[in-house]
Amino acid sequence: MGLTNSPKDTYDNNIKAGDVVFIVNELLENAVKIGASDVHFEPTGAELTVKYRLDGVLNTVEKLPKPLSENVIARLKVLGGLLTYRNDIPQEGRIEIDKSYYEQVTDQRLAVFPTIHGQRAVVRLFYNNAELMNLEQLGFSKKIHAALKQIAAGNMGVLLLTGPAGSGKSTTLAALLRHILKNYPGKSVVTLEDPVEIRIEGATQTQITPHGQLTFPTALRSLLRQDPQVLMIGEIRDAETAKIAIEAGLTGHLLMSTMHSGSPAGAFLRLLEMGIEPYQVTSSISAVLNQRLVRQLCERCKKKSEQTDSFEAVGCDECFNTGYKGRILIAEMVQLDSDLRKAILAKADLEELETLLMSKGHANMLTDGQRLINDGLTTQEELNKVCGFSV
């Protein structure tokens, strides 16, 4: 069993219950060995396809016979403490970690979803990345790194992080909180998360359970009466949470959170669409940080092109013939100045805000990624792909 471009059936239909246990354990163990972030079990009309997400890209690693499909999913549901007899509803759970071979894994989340071909399951793996604990280790440009340290030193305002799932937002927030706890001892640091993905020594962390009575707005209102100085909310999902978060940023709290938006300008507009008054946005938001992760060239096999004078992805056994191994950060940050505040107060649209930022020489993610290409760390093709531009 391995990461290959053309997987073959390695199991026949004469599988016993004990063999299913072995298969599931082996698939999860191998995922950890190569550092996969997710394991997908996708049923089709003919088989159960198993895929690993490696450096943000899905790779097919196994195709199991169709008769095995239900048994494999049932085994995962047992491990995750889910209802094995309910095959018609989505379910979510946690798989306990066997520390004997999962030393670097901090959590395993299981999500099961019904499809026309059977149940689809995804196991998400969370790792303890010691090399990504501190702000200095994340790979921000010098300008953004300095700006983040300045924001962390403040006592009020809101820092918003935007980007798709898996773009490192939680890692950045955790590093920022560790920076505050280390450099400004005595500050009260509290987080509200769904779920708590990274444990932060010295911070009070609370997990918001889905469909429970403790919602983000309820917990946030109560926390503001507990004398916190630094607040981190896992995500601003609705207008009620946004309103309370903005008010917290205006009343002597340093608040950090994430929001679904493709760009910093889009984040400002999303707040306005949620009913936040323009003057509240301009008075409370300190900055918006938009980030992505791009694949890093494999150091063992990367090759310099004579035509472009930049490195290209080749592929070897070390990187499973992808040409890339690991990922690295690209980011853009927008801090409010007088011109941007005036535009937001005038309720400028997305195009107007983007034009204004360009006229002021804003360094977007493509610009930030150029430094990685110049340093031989990634390729233009990978950068264009992550940023949504055609080559």
pLDDT in tens, 260-286: 888 999 999 999 999 999 999 999 999
DSSP assignment of 64-101: EEGGGHHHHHHHHHHHTT--TT--SS-EEEEPPP-TTT
Phi first, then psi: give them for residue 151, nearest 5 degrees.
-65, -40
Is the predicted pLDDT of residue 287 greater than 60, yes or no?
Answer: yes
- Cα separation, 303 vs 233, whole angstroms: 43
Structure tokens at 109: 């989340």
Within 8 A by CB and 6+ apart from 155, the residues are: 229, 252, 254
- Please give the biggest Cα pair distance in the chain: 71
- Give per-residue pLDDT as tens, 75-111: 999 999 999 999 999 999 999 887 666 778 888 999 9
Within 8 A by CB and 6+ apart from 211, the residues are: none
Is the predicted pLDDT of residue 216 greater than 90, yes or no?
Answer: no
- Give per-residue pLDDT as tens, 49-72: 999 999 989 999 999 999 899 999
- Give per-residue pLDDT as tens, 234-243: 999 899 999 9
Residue appearing with tokens 């009913």:
275
230-233 and 204-207 strand pairing: unpaired
Is the predicted pLDDT of residue 212 greater than 80, yes or no?
Answer: no
Average pLDDT over residues 108-134: 91
Radius of gyration of the chain measured on its C-alpha atoms: 23
- Cα separation, 264 vs 4, whole angstroms: 38
- Give the pLDDT of residue 174: 94
8 A C-beta contact, residue 354 and residue 265: yes
The percent of residues in the chain predicted with pLDDT above 70, rounded, is 93
Length of the chain: 391
Confidence of residue 115 (pLDDT cuts 50, 70, 90): very high
Is the predicted pLDDT of residue 133 greater than 90, yes or no?
Answer: no
Average pLDDT over residues 140-157: 96
Is the predicted pLDDT of residue 387 greater than 70, yes or no?
Answer: yes
Structure tokens at 84: 């094995």
N-to-C CA span, the chain: 34
Q: Is the pTM for the entire model greater than 0.75?
A: yes
- Give per-residue pLDDT as tens, 350-363: 999 999 999 999 99
